Structure 1
Amino acid sequence: MESVILSTYSPEELSGIIHNAIKEAVKDIKSQCPAPTSEKLLTRKETADKLKISLVTLNDFTKKGLLQSYLIGGRVLYKDSEVEASLYKTKTVKY
């Protein structure tokens, strides 16, 4: 049978114990999560301006898979690094 030990803590001591336990739990969770990347995201307009193409052409490039788009919060966004990389990528097509 387990024995139960009751201790009396003042409100300040109890809040200190809880504070330290939460601080350690948050530290453990932070160490498990990867660091967020600060990747710059471009809107459709910004991407089209950067590539000097129209929005229709940008849509065609996205549908063909030449550019990867991301739907975030109902908005279509493009990663700046992927747009830069697509400028140098070549795709050979055999007819």
Structure 2
Amino acid sequence: MENIILTSIDIDSLEKIIKNSVAAAIASSIPETTSKDNEQTFSISELAEYLKVTKATIHAYKKRGVFKFYQTGRTVYFIKSEVDAALKIENNKK
């Protein structure tokens, strides 16, 4: 962050400095988009259908940390490539 020493400044210039500082702070806090944004996602029901297991099994896997999951509010979703990778790891453990 820049240190600015204000001596004599008009309101319009001060407003512009504040707006630019706030905009820069907000922009730096927004994560960059990744290729994961374009990947297929599953809800709990969709993942259960994909894996041919019950929703309770998916909840158990989620609780044990087998699958990485994302949550927006109450909506939980999984990224297909991460699920597939986790399944390969689990299968190699056996």
Shorter-chain-normalised TM-score: which range?
Answer: 0.5 to 0.7
Task: Give the drift of 1:73.
Answer: 2.9
Residue 64 (structure 1) shift: 1.0
Q: Identity percentage over the alignment?
A: 26
State the partner residue of 1:87. 87
Matched to 1:84, the amino acid is D
Which residue pairs with 2:57 in the alignment?
Answer: 57
Q: What is the alpha-carbon distance in structure 1 between the residues aligned to residue 84 and residue 70 of structure 2? A: 16
Kindly name which structure, 1 or 2, has the bigger radius of gyration based on alpha carbons. 1
TM-score by length of 2: 0.53
Unaligned runs of 5+ in 2: 1-27
Matches within 5 A, 1:33-52: 37=33, 39=36, 41-52=41-52
| TM-score w.r.t. length of structure 1 | 0.53
Q: Structure 1 counterpart of 2:72, which letter? A: I
Equivalent pairs, count: 83
RMSD: 3.4
Q: Say which structure is richer in helix.
A: 2
**What's the CA shift string for 1:61-87, capped at 9, x where partnerless?**
111111111111320111111111122
Structure 1 stretches of 4+ with a deviation exceeding 2 A read 32-41, 90-93
Listed as ranges, the gaps of 5+ residues in structure 1 are 1-31
User: Aligned partners of 1:91 and 1:63: how far apart in 2?
Assistant: 20
